[in-house]
């Protein structure tokens, strides 16, 4: 039987650390407010000239190393980002070129915070159906250059950071007890405008204008309370859903790796999941919310720190703009 598993993981964070105190210097906010409301202490920002493809490239090389693959072993690339280097083409094509692989397919996924969860499900499906044997999945974001670093933009500016993570997914027969089990994916477009970037947009003519800039439409617009309210219910709901597809329960889980949106949301997930607090992973204090990159960064960190071993039952779960949400269940 054809199944898929994680062969290697990697991550990359820009060197520059930006603390809450640093943000206090450019907007009306405080370290105390940020830590209390979000759990974030610091985040990483790129230097100008670095894009999400560059970060993704570094993470991809680390994942390839861990898997023991060269770029020439790849059959396909899936790249999840909401901050591509260009409106088009997608980062997947740029990454393929940086990796120096000839003409394999590259797919960009635009599912924001849930991008990596959606991407893993696609990699698993392509491998199960026999289309490919080795797929590179990347989640990478550069937020720092595209946020309003002012008091006006403080509700989002303090949340987001830059970074990238990647995973190599390979075909297996499951005999080693390491395999993807199932995935659950959701979206609800009724909430699309509760977390979005409205411009530039071909719906307006011209599609890009000074008025749009003046209105701040190039910056993320967020109804934080609505996002929060939905996230705390949907995270636990979809974890249970994906477990039920395999007749498993919360007690069977070694680790839940949630998208790092807000420590208070993660705390809510902890309460619903039960067990020791470390069963629900968190690193938001160090990196903030890195959208599609947060799960692969976390995954790579837990592998490197020895927190998980081959065969452990893991659930990766996300909620974000769209609204989109979903979960992957796998034996690492
Ligand atoms: O991956 C998905 C991405 N998004 C999320 O996960 C966001 C989910 N939502 C949240 O995390 C929270 O809603 C926030 C952290 C964004 C905001 O926390 P909150 O407890 O919902 O605060 P609030 O929006 O109700 O604002 C409370 C107060 C307001 O002041 P007033 O009206 O009470 O005087 C805000 O203006 O806090 C003010 N405020 C800030 N103060 C200092 C908002 N942002 C800041 C800030 N620093 N950065």
pLDDT in tens, 249-303: 999 999 999 999 999 999 999 999 999 999 999 999 999 999 999 999 999 999 9
29 lines ligand 1 (CB under 6 A): yes
Name the H helices within 25-106: 31-38, 52-67, 91-99
Nearest to 312 by CA among 1, 3, 5, 2: 5
pLDDT for position 102: 83
At a CB cut-off of 8 Å and minimum separation 6, what does 44 contact? 13, 14, 15, 16, 17, 18, 161, 162, 163, 287
Interval 29-66: pLDDT, tens = 999 999 999 999 999 999 999 999 999 999 999 999 99
Backbone angles phi, psi at 13, to 5 degrees: -120, 135
Burial class of residue 216, CB neighbours in 10 A (0-12, 13-18, 19+): middle
Q: Could you confirm whether 315 is annotated as catalytic?
A: no
**Mean pLDDT across 194-223:** 95
Q: Could you confirm whether 289 is annotated as catalytic?
A: yes
Plot region of 68 (φ>0 → left; ψ -120 to 50 → alpha; else → beta): left
Please tell me the distance from the alpha carbon of residue 34 to that of residue 154, in angstroms, as a whole number.
10
For a mutational test of ligand 1's pocket, the pick from 26, 37, 192, 317, i.e. the residue with the most ligand atoms closer than 8 A to its C-beta, is: 37
Q: Could you confirm whether 188 is annotated as catalytic?
A: no
pLDDT for position 131: 98
CB 54 within 8 A of CB 138: no
Ligand 1 centroid, distance to 194 Cα (angstroms) = 14
186 lines ligand 1 (CB under 6 A): no
Residue 157 CA, closest ligand 1 atom number: 48
Q: pTM for the whole thing?
A: 0.97
CB 137 within 8 A of CB 120: yes
Ligand 1 centroid, distance to 224 Cα (angstroms) = 6
37 lines ligand 1 (CB under 6 A): yes
| CATH architecture observed for domain 3-172 | 3-Layer(aba) Sandwich (3.40)
- In CATH terms, the fold of domain 179-279+293-331 is Peroxisomal Thiolase; Chain A, domain 1 (3.40.47)
Mean pLDDT of the chain: 97
Domain-wise residue ranges, the chain? 3-172, 179-279+293-331
Nearest to 50 by CA among 121, 98, 1: 98
Percentage of residues of the chain with pLDDT beyond 90:
99
**Equal fold, 3-172 vs 179-279+293-331:** yes
Ligand 1 centroid, distance to 151 Cα (angstroms) = 12
Residue written as token pair 């797929």: 135
Nearest-CA residue for ligand 1 atom 9 is: 224
295 lines ligand 1 (CB under 6 A): no
224 lines ligand 1 (CB under 6 A): yes
Nearest-CA residue for ligand 1 atom 38 is: 155
Please tell me the distance from the alpha carbon of residue 284 to that of residue 18, in angstroms, as a whole number.
13
- pLDDT band at residue 148 under the 50/70/90 scheme: very high
Q: Does the bond joining 89 to the residue before it have cis omega, within 30 degrees of 0?
A: yes
- pLDDT band at residue 220 under the 50/70/90 scheme: very high
Q: Which of 20, 93, 111, 113 is catalytic?
A: 113
CA 321 to chain centre: 12
Interval 70-128: pLDDT, tens = 999 999 999 999 999 999 999 999 999 999 998 999 999 999 999 999 999 999 999 99
40 lines ligand 1 (CB under 6 A): no
């Amino acid at each position: 039987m054809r199944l898929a598993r994680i062969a290697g993981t990697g991550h990359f964070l820009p060197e520059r650390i930006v603390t809450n105190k640093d943000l206090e210097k450019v907007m009306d906010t405080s370290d105390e407010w940020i830590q209390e409301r979000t759990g974030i202490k610091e985040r990483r920002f790129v230097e100008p000239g670095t894009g999400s493809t560059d970060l993704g490239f570094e993470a991809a090389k680390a994942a390839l190393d861990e898997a023991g693959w060269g770029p020439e072993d790849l059959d396909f690339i899936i790249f999840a980002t909401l901050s591509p280097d260009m409106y088009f083409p997608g980062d997947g094509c740029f990454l393929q070129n940086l990796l120096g692989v000839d003409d394999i397919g590259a797919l960009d996924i635009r599912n924001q915070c849930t991008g990596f969860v959606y991407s893993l499900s696609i990699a698993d499906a392509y491998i199960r159906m026999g289309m490919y044997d080795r797929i590179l999945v990347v989640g990478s974001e550069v937020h720092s250059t595209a946020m309003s670093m002012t008091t006006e933009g403080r509700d989002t500016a303090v949340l987001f950071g830059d970074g990238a993570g990647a995973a190599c997914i390979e075909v297996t027969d499951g005999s080693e007890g390491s395999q993807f089990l199932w995935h659950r994916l959701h979206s609800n477009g009724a909430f699309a405008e509760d977390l979005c970037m409205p411009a530039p947009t071909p719906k307006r003519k011209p599609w890009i204008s000074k008025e749009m800039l003046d209105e701040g439409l190039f910056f993320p617009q967020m109804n934080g309370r609505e996002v929060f309210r939905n996230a705390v219910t949907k995270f636990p709901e979809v974890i249970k859903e994906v477990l039920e597809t395999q007749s498993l329960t919360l007690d069977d889980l070694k680790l839940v790796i949630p998208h790092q949106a807000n420590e208070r949301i993660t705390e809510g997930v902890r309460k619903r999941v039960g067990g020791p607090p470390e069963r629900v992973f968190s690193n938001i204090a160090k990196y903030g919310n890195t959208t599609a990159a947060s799960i692969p960064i976390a995954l790579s960190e837990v592998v490197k720190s020895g927190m998980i071993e081959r065969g452990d039952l893991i659930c990766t779960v996300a909620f974000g703009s769209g609204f989109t949400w979903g979960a992957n269940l796998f034996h690492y």
